[in-house]
Amino acid sequence: MKINIVMGFFLPVPPAAGGAVEKSWHRLALELACRGHDVTVLSRRWPDWAERETQAGVTHLRVPGFAHRRKLWLNLLLDLIWSLRIFIKLPAADITVVNAVALPCLLGALKPSAGRVVVMPGRMPKGQFLVYNHVARVMATSTPVRTAVLAEDPRWAPVTRVYGYPVNTTVFSAPRIPGNRVITLGYIGRIHREKGLDLLVDGLSLLAARADLPPWRVLFCGPSDVARGGSGPEYRDTLASQLARFLPATHMTFAEAEFNEAALAGRYREIDLFCYPSLAEQGETFGVAVVEAMAAGAVPVVSDLACFRDFVRPGVNGATFDHTLPDPAARLARVLAELLASPDRRATLARHARADAQAYDFSAYAERLLADFQALVSPLDHDREIV
């Protein structure tokens, strides 16, 4: 098959500047190419990178894009401009996977050479499914995303499936270094307010006031600049100042974002309890970092967002706390304290977390994807396209 994979406007592929979607589709492109398929990835042009090249069997076309902006309306406008640029460059294919908002409106009848259109909404839909046509598959990243798509327009029910995101479980599941060490509570992801990091710091301050817990430390790792999805370096510095009020410098680390997968995996393997208290009811659509942490053997502790329920099973492979009830910081602190005090329980949850993360392994995900794509290009399945 000839397969196009269209990325968003603000990050390149290969993922030199991060991005969960970019990481996932880059690796998937390699998996599909290894299975003999003709794969082209269209992503943002990057300084000193070729506009067109082939790497490891994948053709890369790079188009001028834009930095991410704070305002939604401006990002949507830039997405439209990006989609028009991609429309002009897009090669013929059997399948075109789209990780952009406006582009599906331009394909189908206007560009049938793009083949069957597959849409993967990276965030909650914003009305675009009311105007989409000629889409053969909607790859929902989680159950709440599927629910939101169907709430916009129920006609998408026959072609919408929940896929999640793939994860390179091989690199993340390497053995940990044995031995006694200080228990690490960690967060890896964008340093942004919507991730509940203020809530996490408040919860950690309550833990620090307790004398009955084993020694622990904190690791934060991720981009803070706005261009890469953070709330700005000043927000990171504020979090660090707040932590310094109750933790010694030797027990807290703020690390820059890791874009090398092996180095990132090493960071995950430092973490025993992976804290992801996101408050983004509409912004959180899966939680790649949570699955990566699970694959690395960390116990996930997450807020009770619907998207996490697809893979975090409280009391089996992780823990949750209800961030919507009064005093959520105290609720989070109680969950963390129970796990800090229970090494056997941590070990059991971590073992189940590792095992459950395997369901999102790239190899298994790619096989499922190819089977779906093959069905979509079959003449018998052609009438399932929503027009």
Domains in the chain: boundaries: 2-166+361-384, 169-360
Q: What is the pLDDT of residues 210-254, one digit of tens each?
A: 999 999 999 999 999 988 889 999 999 999 999 999 999 999 999
The per-residue pLDDT for 219 is 97
Residue with tokens 């307010």: 193
Over the stretch 249-279, which tens digit does the pLDDT of each residue have?
999 999 999 888 899 999 999 999 999 999 9
Do 2-166+361-384 and 169-360 show the same overall fold?
yes
Question: Are the C-beta atoms of residues 218 and 204 closer than 8 Å to each other?
Answer: yes
Topology of the domain comprising 169-360: Rossmann fold (3.40.50)
Arithmetic mean of pLDDT, 55-71: 94
Q: What is the DSSP letter of 92?
A: P
Q: How far apart are CA 359 and CA 311, in angstroms?
A: 9
**pLDDT tens per residue across span 144-186:** 999 999 999 999 999 999 999 998 888 988 877 666 679 999 9
As a residue count, the chain comes to 387
C-alpha 314/C-alpha 347 separation (Å) is 14
Mean pLDDT value of segment 46-52: 95
> How confident is residue 384, by pLDDT bands cut at 50, 70 and 90?
low
Q: pTM for the whole thing?
A: 0.82
Q: In a 3-state reduction of DSSP, which class is residue 382?
A: helix
Torsion of CA 221, 336, 290, 245, to 10 degrees: -20
CATH number of 2-166+361-384: 3.40.50.2000
H or E element in which residue 302 lies: strand 299-303
What is the average pLDDT value for the chain, to the nearest integer?
93
pLDDT value of position 97:
98
> What are the CA-CA distances from residue 121 to residues 99, 206, 264, 298, 329 (Å)?
6, 38, 25, 28, 31
Q: What is the pLDDT of residue 122?
A: 78
